[in-house]
Structure formats: structure tokens, C-alpha cells
């Protein structure tokens, strides 16, 4: 979102209706206790030659997910709503829906800020896409 656009705050009850989608540009590298998501860094003019001859810049950055993060990441498949993802998490770990919601929504918020996933809302107010 551009800095000039006004940010609109969704009512909390609508957040559960969003459908998280993976960023398709990411590369996923499996690790023993989770995974690393690699995203490429846009190369600015000062990151190109001849500047990078002196100061080499990395061309991608990685986000490490532990096993819990990887579970939620896999559930963000573009078909399930946030509510369905929370339900699955709660059932797997035998916690209440409300406990799972706080943990999962914080995680989705972090992933969204880092552009690893995008949450799509339907303007008609219908759950799902």
C-alpha cells in the first residue's frame, strides 16, 4: 500500500473472513525444524555495480519458520479462511478457538507486514474469496 493512501481499518469481526494467499515469488527451503522462506530483494541503484564491487549486497532475504509457523503457512493456501485456519490450529494443539485465534492472527499479521502472504477480503461481506 502506498504511503499516501489512507489506511482503512477492518472491523475485527471481519478479519476472520479473510483468505490468506502465499506470495508466489517466495522460494521455500525445507529445514529439519521448519523451513526458510526466501524472498528476493529489489536491487536499488546503489546496490548495483560499481557500488556492489566494494560493498557486496545480498540479493535475497530469508525468514525462518519454526514447525508451528510452517503449519500455519501451509494452511494459508488461498482456499481456507482465517477462521478455518484458526479452527484447524486449535484442533491440532487442543487449545480453545480464542487462544488459537490470538496466536494465529498475530502470526498472519507479521507475515502480511513482511509481504510473505496477502489476505484477500470479499467486499460483499461473504466469507471466503
Task: CB nearer to another protein: give 26 or 72.
Answer: 72
CB of 73 to another protein, least distance (A): 16
Give least dist CB 15 to another protein, A. 9
Cell numbers found for residue 36 = 526458510
Who contacts 112 (Cβ-Cβ below 8 Å, separation ≥6)? 20, 118, 119
Helix (H) or strand (E) holding 126: none
Nearest alpha-carbon partner for 83 in 11, 14, 9? 14
- Contacts with another protein, residue ranges (CB under 8 A): 12-13, 16, 67-68, 83-84, 87-88, 90-91, 93-103
- The least CB distance from residue 65 to another protein, in Å, is 14
Amino acid at each position: 500500500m502506498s504511503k499516501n493512501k489512507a489506511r482503512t481499518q477492518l472491523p475485527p469481526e471481519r478479519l476472520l473472513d479473510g483468505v490468506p494467499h502465499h506470495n508466489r515469488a517466495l522460494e521455500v527451503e525445507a529445514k529439519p525444524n521448519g523451513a526458510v522462506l526466501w524472498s528476493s530483494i529489489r536491487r536499488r541503484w546503489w546496490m548495483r555495480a560499481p557500488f556492489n564491487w566494494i560493498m557486496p549486497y545480498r540479493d535475497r532475504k530469508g525468514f525462518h519458520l519454526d514447525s508451528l509457523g510452517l503449519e500455519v503457512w501451509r494452511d494459508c493456501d488461498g482456499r481456507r479462511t482465517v477462521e478455518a485456519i484458526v479452527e484447524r490450529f486449535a484442533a491440532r494443539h487442543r487449545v480453545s478457538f480464542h487462544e488459537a485465534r490470538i496466536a494465529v492472527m498475530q502470526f498472519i499479521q507479521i507475515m502480511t507486514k513482511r509481504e510473505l502472504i496477502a489476505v484477500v477480503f470479499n467486499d460483499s461481506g461473504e466469507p471466503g474469496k
